[in-house]
């Protein structure tokens, strides 16, 4: 029997009805984070971006903790134990406001907390994870160095044994939340390969300097970490960490959040462009009525929905335990590029207004420069996908 009822017209805000595939629990997470983000973050984010900092990172951490998004996908130790799709939706709704705010949550939950959760001792987990989940302690993750970015295996930070102690020397660069962190997870080369260390702020020899003059991710604190003869007890090492694969597995968790986050930034830019195009009049009619504008909106809505479907597909694979790191590379590569295209087109639809902080589009556009760079640059993910499909590595 064929059904002759006319299907409903697509919703311009969810054209392919991707969100109709969410469970009730996932929809509840989406709505809770969206409401919080629109009420508490959106009204302030342009000012934070213009100031080039987060004025109250501790208050923000506490608010994220109360919302339940810090380490929400981790099990136990005060963490939420949510599914991967639910966590992704939280990232999407936060990044629809600003990539810097999603970065705060990603670095805390998927890098610093995930490293302690995966590789830490029971004592380390018990000491740090409940406080970090509640937003009472801020964590950072120090892998990148001034001379070691895409190739972290070339790091110069060293940890050497001195009796039962460890002594760390080196410099980490571009570390999100470094200068406001209570604890840094620092990766260092040892005689046993690369290992992770839990470094509480205030340890003698450890200092952090904020990076200024950024033109991207301005509503986020970025820092240099300096380690000069930092002496740590034997139990500061993450006992389960062994080799470069350990930090890379954390990065894979965080870049999963980027897959969703980029879809959120893209959606925000498209929605701003649609609203602007319908209300802005030139030549006696809304600019939405011009074919060239409609072409931009059509390209945008396709990119936004492709990104949403990609995120949901990878999220479902992850919830089934089937997400390979190459799937996550695919998602980061595809969705960040899509978001960059959407942001650039949305900015042009806004004309001169598009270059101001009165509208979100250029803020997203410049943030996406960072998102395309960190946690594996666009080129590095292209090489991962290239290796996955050809079986041939072109990394070196």
Angle of helix 245-279 relative to helix 99-106, nearest 10 degrees? 160
Which residue in 304, 295, 296, 294 sits closest to 266, CA to CA?
Answer: 304
Cβ distance 328 to 262 under 8 Å? no
The H or E element containing residue 275 is helix 245-279
Minimum CB–partner distance for residue 25 and ligand FAD (Å): 30
Cβ distance 150 to 164 under 8 Å? no
- Cα 31 → chain centroid: 19
Minimum CB–partner distance for residue 349 and ligand FAD (Å): 27
Q: Give the whole-angstrom CA distance, residue 294 versus residue 8.
A: 21
Q: Does 373 bind ligand FAD (CB under 6 A)?
A: yes
The footprint of ligand FAD on residues 168-187 (CB under 6 A) is 174-176
Residue number, 220 or 305, with CB nearest to ligand FAD: 220
Residue number, 82 or 222, with CB nearest to ligand FAD: 222
- Cα 109 → chain centroid: 10
Among the candidate windows 143-151, 227-235, 326-334, 337-345, which touches ligand FAD by CB under 6 A? 143-151
Residue number, 82 or 370, with CB nearest to ligand FAD: 370
Q: Give the whole-angstrom CA distance, residue 321 versus residue 323.
A: 6
Its sign, for the CA torsion 126, 132, 138, 139, is positive
Q: Does 379 bind ligand FAD (CB under 6 A)?
A: yes
Give the residue, chosen from 67, 79, 107, 361, that forms a contact with ligand FAD under the rule CB under 6 A.
107
Residue 139 dihedral angles phi and psi, to the nearest 5°: -115, 155
Among the candidate windows 59-67, 74-82, 340-348, 367-375, which touches ligand FAD by CB under 6 A? 367-375
- Cα 79 → chain centroid: 18
Q: Does 18 bind ligand FAD (CB under 6 A)?
A: no
Q: Does 380 bind ligand FAD (CB under 6 A)?
A: yes
Tallying the residues shown for the chain, one arrives at 396
Residue number, 154 or 282, with CB nearest to ligand FAD: 154
Q: Does 377 bind ligand FAD (CB under 6 A)?
A: yes
Among the candidate windows 46-54, 62-70, 321-329, 377-385, which touches ligand FAD by CB under 6 A? 377-385
Judged by CB under 6 A, the number of residues near ligand FAD is 21
Give the residue, chosen from 370, 372, 381, 384, that forms a contact with ligand FAD under the rule CB under 6 A.
370
Which residue in 259, 262, 295, 302 sits closest to 277, CA to CA?
Answer: 295
375 classed as catalytic: yes
- Give me 391's structure tokens: 């079986």
Residue number, 153 or 351, with CB nearest to ligand FAD: 153
Its sign, for the CA torsion 366, 370, 371, 377, is positive
Give the residue, chosen from 143, 159, 221, 266, that forms a contact with ligand FAD under the rule CB under 6 A.
143
Q: Does 384 bind ligand FAD (CB under 6 A)?
A: no
> Residues interacting with ligand FAD, by CB under 6 A?
107, 141-144, 149-150, 174-176, 217, 222, 370, 373-375, 377, 379-380, 383, 395
């Amino acid at each position: 029997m064929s059904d002759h009822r006319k299907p409903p017209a697509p919703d311009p805000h969810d054209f392919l009805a991707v969100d109709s595939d969410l469970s009730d629990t996932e929809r509840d997470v989406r709505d809770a984070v969206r409401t919080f983000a629109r009420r508490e973050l959106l009204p302030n984010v342009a000012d934070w971006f213009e100031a080039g900092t987060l004025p109250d990172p501790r208050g923000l951490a506490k608010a994220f903790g109360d919302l339940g998004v810090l380490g929400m996908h981790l099990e136990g130790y005060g963490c939420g134990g949510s599914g991967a799709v639910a966590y992704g939706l939280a990232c999407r709704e936060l990044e629809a406001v600003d990539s810097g705010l999603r970065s705060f949550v990603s670095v805390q939950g998927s890098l610093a907390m995930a490293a302690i959760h995966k590789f830490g001792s029971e004592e380390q987990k018990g000491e740090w994870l409940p406080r970090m989940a509640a937003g009472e302690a801020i964590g950072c993750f120090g892998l990148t160095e001034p001379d070691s970015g895409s190739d972290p295996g070339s790091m110069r930070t060293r940890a050497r044994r001195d009796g039962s102690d460890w002594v760390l020397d080196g410099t980490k660069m571009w570390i999100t939340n470094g200068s406001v962190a209570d604890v840094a997870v620092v990766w260092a080369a040892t005689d046993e390969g690369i290992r992770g260390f839990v470094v509480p702020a205030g340890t003698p020899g450890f200092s952090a300097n904020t990076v200024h003059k950024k033109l991207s991710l301005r509503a986020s604190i970025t820092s240099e970490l300096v380690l000069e003869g930092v002496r740590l007890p034997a139990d500061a090492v993450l006992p389960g960490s062994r080799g470069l694969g350990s930090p890379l597995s954390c990065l894979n968790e965080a870049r999963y959040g980027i897959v969703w986050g980029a879809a959120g930034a893209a959606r925000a830019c498209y929605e701003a462009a649609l609203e602007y195009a319908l209300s802005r009049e030139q030549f006696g009619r809304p600019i939405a009525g011009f074919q060239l504008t409609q072409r931009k909106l059509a390209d945008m809505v396709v990119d936004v929905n492709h990104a949403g479907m990609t995120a949901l597909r990878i999220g479902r694979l992850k919830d089934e335990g089937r997400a390979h790191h190459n799937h996550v590379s695919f998602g980061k590569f595809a969705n960040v590029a899509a978001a960059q295209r959407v942001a650039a087109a949305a900015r042009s639809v806004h004309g001169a207004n598009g270059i101001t902080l009165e509208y979100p589009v250029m803020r997203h556009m410049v943030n996406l420069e960072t998102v395309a760079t960190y946690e594996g640059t666009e080129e590095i993910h292209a090489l991962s996908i290239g290796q996955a499909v050809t079986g041939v590595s072109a990394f070196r």
